[in-house]
Amino acid sequence: MELCKILHMNSGDGDKSYAKNSLLQQKATSKVWPIIKEAIEDYLCTENIPITTLSIADLGCSFGPNTLSILSDLIKQFHKTILLHHNKPIQYQIFFNDLPSNDFDSLFRSLSNFLEDLKNQIGTDFGTCFFNGVPGSFYGRLFPNKSLHFVHSSYALHWLSQVPEGMEMINKGNIFIDRTSPKNVIEGYYKQFQKDFSLFLKCRGEEIVSGGRMVVTLIGRTNESPPKEDFCYTFTLLNLAIYNMVKEGIIREGKVDRFNIPTFMPSPKEVKTEVLKEGSFIINRVEVAGIDWNAYNDEFDESNVLVDSSYCYAKCIRSVIEPLMITHFGEAVVEELFHRNAFKDEAD
């Protein structure tokens, strides 16, 4: 089955939903906000072009409080800066993009309350907002030529358009890049990232107006060379938990070999290389920040990654990866996997 038809976060607002288990993403957005603010101010101050309607796209928007929180901050910052330099409100054209399986219903049901809250915070004169849903992959064209002024994407671009070909034959025993993965697995994932990211940049380069801005946040890694340690500790723990169930005969080993997670965590150099090679954009800033899993700790500390706090590590992973796993392993197996809360047990 095509990835774009099954990849989505857990929908709704229940205990297992992405909306209730995305504090990590919220903390990442808070870290990035100074860069977003700078990009907005730089665009409106540098590009001396009269704007009556500002088009903003959130690519890989998902749904829930994080989606609306960043949008609220964007509109408030644009409103503040526009009044300072142009002295009159404008209209906002907001585009929410994600794959068709995203919970757009929850997102659009929340917009009336969102607008009321926004009016209460900044007054009724901030301008009219027009909201649009744009289902589809951002690894392709989504908008007309030169129609967007500002593009934002958070925690989405580490997802690939597909699992690199042949992984089930050469990455046996792993569901992602691991320290035991052969070199050609790492190369396969990297080539898929290069292809996808380059296409993303090309498409956005055609859709964003001259001088427009784009801010992207994605999960990455700090080391430039192939990993001596785990490429993604999260998936290593998940892999261990799954193989415990293989040993118990709950999951067939061959079924695990055919499951590979379609993500790649690039290094800063790998991101820069693709941007420069594709050529549509000029890099203003590339920043690396660590995010702690502990809900009560704002400073990154690897020793606290598995602290048993109110922000449950396993719930976060489940809200992101469960729909993809259910399609492959079945609901009963996935329910058992997360019921064991195996991530914490295996690491202790």
Structural domain of residue 39, as residue ranges?
3-347
How many structural domains are present in the chain? 1
- Nearest partner of 215 among 9, 63, 55, 58, judged by Cα: 58
- How is residue 303 annotated by DSSP? G
In sequence order, what are the residues at sequence separation of 6 or more whose Cβ sits closer than 8 angstroms to the Cβ of residue 48?
A: none
Q: List b or e across 51-78, with b for residues whose CB sees 16 or more CB atoms inside 10 angstroms.
A: beebbbbbbbbbbbebbbebbbbbbebb
Q: How confident is the model at residue 132 (pLDDT cuts 50, 70, 90)?
A: very high
Number of continuous H segments (helices) and E segments (strands) in the chain: 13, 5
Q: How far is 74 from 40, CA to CA, in rounded Å?
A: 8
- Residue 304's nearest CA partner among 292, 321, 291, 316 is 292
With a CB cutoff of 8 Å and minimum separation 6, the contacts of 295 are 23, 309, 310, 311
pLDDT at residue 233, rounded to an integer: 65
- Cα 176 to Cα 81, 183, 186: the distances in Å are 44, 13, 9
**DSSP at 163:** P
Calculate mean pLDDT across residues 10-28: 68
The pLDDT of residue 296 is: 42
For residues 30-44, give the mean pLDDT: 90
Please state, in angstroms and rounded to a whole number, the distance separating the CA atoms of residues 30 and 286: 16
Which amino acid, residue 192?
Q
Encoded tokens for 90: 């404008």
Element spanning 179, H or E: none
pTM beyond cutoff 0.75: yes
- The answer to whether residue 159 scores a pLDDT higher than 80 is yes
Sheet architecture: strand order including 148-154: 129-135, 91-98, 53-59, 148-154, 208-217
As a 3-state breakdown, the chain gives helix, strand, coil percent values, each rounded to 5, of 45, 10, 40
The string of pLDDT tens digits covering residues 219-249 is: 888 877 655 454 566 777 788 888 888 888 8
- CATH number at 217 reads 3.40.50.150
Amino acid at 61: C
pLDDT at 72 over 50: yes
Q: Give CA 319 to chain center in angstroms.
A: 13
- Higher pLDDT, residue 95 or 66: 95
* Residue 74, pLDDT above cutoff 70: yes
Whole-number pLDDT of residue 178: 77
